[in-house]
A and B are shown apart, each in its own frame.
Chain A
């Protein structure tokens, strides 16, 4: 399949252009698969000290308001909402929403267990003073335990879960989400394999001349890195975290942290592509110079 002359180079440029696209898609899909499958990534974001502090601050405010309305000392409830308990609940919620694509997934989000909290509030002197003994159990459950449990859930998962419970079964009836996610997880490898196939095609087009191949493959690698860097810069300037913060400040903070995590992964791929690409072009340029020098001698 050896092609010579200008036509081979035109084809090589076209294939290098396609290879840039597949390399770009491979890098982007790698980050998308991290979003879909990496539970550790989401835990790192949710358990970040800044997020934990903001969650505790929000819960403290909500408990304070409920305590003022239902006459009990807010410390009674807050002593049972520990950072460790909250971290554990964050993990449960992450495991829940990451399993939503499965056909047997539970549609209801995990609830914050408020039983111990209700018992503690019932023993609170201020509460005992304000609420009649016959009503304490009911008030502690309905007016204290349930709203606090809801406040904790809405702080950790500030999403209308009833919408998910309504929409997901409908989507599941049309599409096999689990299989779709399974296919999506293979896309980075698929695009990387396509890129490799295109590199081999360039070798064939250049008649096995690795020097010329290095130029085109190196250029495609560098171009993919440059476009990825441009996309990262645009995302940084658009600041999606600030956009989401308009709807929910805590979620905005988590989106910013998540993008930093994804950005570092993408940055690493970019650096590898750029170093490999520039190295290959350098090899091409050096070998051209060396061969030109030896011809002159």
Chain B
């Protein structure tokens, strides 16, 4: 019969890892550019 594996509990983490990594990479690589773009758009549209 099949054995109980506690490693099964780690499957959600394994599935979440690629998304977390992609999210972190996008934030590190493009975070400051996105922030600059947001600030430019805000200054254009919003009244101080």
A residues adjacent to B (C-beta < 8 A): 13, 16-17, 20-21, 24, 154, 158-160, 163, 215-216, 218-220, 222-224, 226-227, 230-231, 234, 243-244, 246-248, 251, 277, 281, 284-285, 288-289, 291-292, 294-296
Contacts and interface: CB of A to CB of B under 8 A. Distances in A.
Given A285-B4, A291-B1, 18 more contacts: A16-B15, A17-B15, A20-B19, A154-B47, A159-B46, A160-B46, A160-B47, A215-B8, A220-B12, A223-B15, A223-B16, A226-B13, A227-B23, A243-B38, A244-B46, A281-B12, A288-B4, A295-B1
A6 B8 CA distance: 15
Contacts of B27: 234
B contacts with A: majority SS: helix
Nearest to A158: B47
B12 A277 contact: yes
A291 B45 contact: no
Interface string B10-22: 0111111011100
A247 B8 contact: no
Contacts of A163: 44-45
A230 B20 contact: yes
A219 B11 contact: yes
B25 interface: no
By CB atoms of chain B within 10 A, which of A16, A219, A220 has the most?
A219
Contact of A291 (B2, B8, B15): B2
Q: Which 3 A-B pairs have the closest CB atoms?
A: A222-B12, A295-B1, A223-B15
Contacts of B35: 243
Nearest to B31: A238
Contacts of B1: 291-292, 294-296
B30 interface: no
A284 B5 CA distance: 10
A219 B15 contact: yes
By CB atoms of chain A within 10 A, which of B3, B12, B27, B39 has the most?
B12
24 contacts: A17-B15, A24-B19, A159-B45, A160-B45, A215-B8, A219-B12, A222-B16, A223-B11, A223-B12, A223-B15, A223-B16, A226-B12, A230-B20, A230-B23, A231-B23, A243-B39, A246-B39, A251-B46, A277-B12, A281-B12, A289-B4, A291-B1, A292-B2, A292-B4
B45 A17 contact: no
B34 to A, nearest CB: 10
B46 A248 contact: yes
A154 B15 CA distance: 47
Contact of B15 (A220, A246, A251, A294): A220
Given A158-B47, A227-B23, A243-B39, A20 B8 contact: no
A290 to B, nearest CB: 10
A17 B47 contact: no
Contacts of B14: 219, 223
